[in-house]
């Protein structure tokens, strides 16, 4: 059994990790770290866990965590930076859900996060934990920078076109819509029920940090520096991200041809479901599961591809992907604890 710690277990990403790991046949969940709820049972904080998992949340004790095989760090941005180097030294593999270890280039991080990176040397070995693109590196990684929710959805949606060479690299636009769990469990007027319900809005237009993550990965795929427009929106649902991606093409194409490019690119990927021509993803199809659904359209008037991708932001966009990474790192079947169909209802 793999001994696992979840640090930050009572946030939304953290508790989703707990939900998934509780059903994982190869994992023993040793530590539920929570600053705010230390001393309380997880089943008191999230009462759906009664009769299922009644472990106590505890304050961070590095000595104790160092006896685990893997730590999932779902800590507030910055907090993980002090903890992670220490855990690595003790031989604990770390899957970090913050933005700290997602970057190839420390300068990009520092520009978009507006502060010095505390352990830039770790960026050299940390692996961007998107298995569909970096599976081989993940296998041997000690430290995973687990991708953000918007980024997973957008990168996987755009990757095949950029890899195929058919895409123009200018004028790529990603218009993304997210459910409210993406904002976390902290209290804020804008995530209160009466302010969210029946409301939609864009936010952080032109300057959301995830832009830089998407650009990094798409640039790597295309082999040239790419800059994109990325616009996040908040929509009144709990789970789900839908990205609508606009990409000009270098030559005439068709929906069938584009779909074929996607099907080929993802032919071995269980968690990516490419829609048949004429079908489109919906967030309901992926809610509660680790799947990404992608549909591709072609606008023949404009010579432009319009790609729609959907995932559950706290599963494939956070906790599920983290478990997928763990499965790969520990040589397990990648689908373990992740092969269910989600909720639909």
Residues 254-313 that bind its own copies (CB under 8 A): 270-271, 273, 280-289, 291, 293, 297-302, 304, 306, 308, 310
Question: Does the footprint of its own copies cover residue 340 (CB under 8 A)?
Answer: yes
Give the tokens for residue 186: 């902290």
Q: Look at residues 229, 240, 238, 217 and name the one whose alpha carbon lies nearest to residue 292.
A: 240
Angle between helices 149-164 and 210-222 (to 10 degrees): 20
Report DSSP letters for 100-127, one per residue: TT--S-HHHHHHHH-S--S-HHHHTT-E
d(CA 143, CA 129): 9
Sites for its own copies among residues 10-69 (CB under 8 A): 12, 15-16, 19, 22-23, 46-53
- Which residue from 189, 251, 268, 331 is in contact with its own copies, where contact means CB under 8 A? 189
Q: Are 212 and 145 in contact (CB under 8 A)?
A: no
Question: Does the footprint of its own copies cover residue 238 (CB under 8 A)?
Answer: yes
Output the smallest distance, CB 269 to its own copies, in A: 10
Q: Are 22 and 54 in contact (CB under 8 A)?
A: no
343: Cβ–Cβ under 8 A, 6 or more apart, which residues?
Answer: 287, 288, 289
What Å distances lie between residue 179 and 9, 26, 52, 78, CA to CA? Answer: 20, 31, 27, 24
What are the DSSP E strand ranges found in 27-168?
27-33, 57-58, 70-73, 93-96, 127-128, 143-145
Considering only 84-92, 143-151, 234-242, 256-264, which stretch makes contact with its own copies by CB under 8 A?
A: 234-242
Sites for its own copies among residues 159-188 (CB under 8 A): 171, 173, 175, 177, 179-181, 185, 187-188
Output the smallest distance, CB 90 to its own copies, in A: 30
Question: Which of 68, 149, 153, 196 is an active site residue?
Answer: 149
Question: Does the footprint of its own copies cover residue 250 (CB under 8 A)?
Answer: no
Give the tokens for residue 306: 């319009």
Nearer to its own copies, 1 or 52 (CB): 52
Nearer to its own copies, 127 or 242 (CB): 242
Active site residue 196: no
- Which residue from 115, 116, 197, 268 is in contact with its own copies, where contact means CB under 8 A? 197
Sites for its own copies among residues 211-230 (CB under 8 A): 227, 229
Sites for its own copies among residues 75-104 (CB under 8 A): none
Output the smallest distance, CB 4 to its own copies, in A: 17
Catalytic residue numbers read 149
């Amino acid at each position: 059994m793999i001994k696992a710690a979840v640090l930050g277990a009572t946030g939304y990403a953290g508790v989703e990790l707990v939900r998934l790991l509780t059903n994982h046949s190869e994992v023993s969940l040793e530590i539920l770290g929570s600053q705010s709820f230390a001393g309380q049972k997880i089943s008191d904080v999230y009462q759906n866990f009664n009769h299922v998992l009644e472990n106590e949340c505890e304050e961070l004790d590095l000595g104790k965590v160092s006896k685990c095989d893997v730590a999932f760090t779902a800590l507030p941005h910055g907090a993980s930076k002090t903890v992670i180097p220490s855990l690595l030294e003790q031989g604990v593999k770390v899957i970090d859900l913050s933005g700290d270890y997602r970057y190839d280039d420390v300068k990009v991080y520092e520009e978009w996060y507006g502060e010095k990176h505390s352990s830039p040397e770790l960026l050299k070995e940390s692996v961007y934990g998107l298995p569909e693109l970096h599976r081989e590196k993940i296998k041997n990684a000690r430290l995973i920078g687990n991708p953000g929710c918007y980024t997973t959805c957008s990168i996987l949606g755009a990757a095949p076109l950029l890899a195929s060479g058919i895409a123009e690299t200018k004028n790529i636009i990603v218009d993304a819509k997210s459910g409210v769990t993406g904002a976390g469990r902290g209290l804020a007027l804008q995530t209160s029920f009466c302010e969210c319900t029946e409301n939609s809005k864009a936010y952080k237009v032109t300057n959301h940090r995830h832009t830089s993550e998407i650009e990094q990965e798409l640039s790597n795929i295309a082999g040239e520096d790419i800059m994109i427009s990325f616009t996040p929106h908040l929509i009144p649902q709990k789970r789900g991200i839908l990205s609508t991606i606009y990409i000009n093409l270098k030559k005439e194409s068709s929906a069938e041809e584009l779909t074929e490019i996607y099907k080929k690119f993802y032919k071995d990927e269980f968690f990516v479901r490419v829609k048949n021509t004429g079908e489109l993803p919906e967030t309901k199809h992926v809610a509660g599961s680790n799947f990404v659904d992608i549909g591709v359209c072609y606008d023949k008037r404009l010579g432009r591809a319009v790609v729609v991708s959907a995932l559950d932001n706290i599963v494939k966009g956070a906790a599920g992907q983290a478990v997928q990474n763990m499965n790969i790192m520990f040589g397990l079947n990648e689908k373990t604890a992740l092969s269910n169909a989600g909720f639909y209802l």
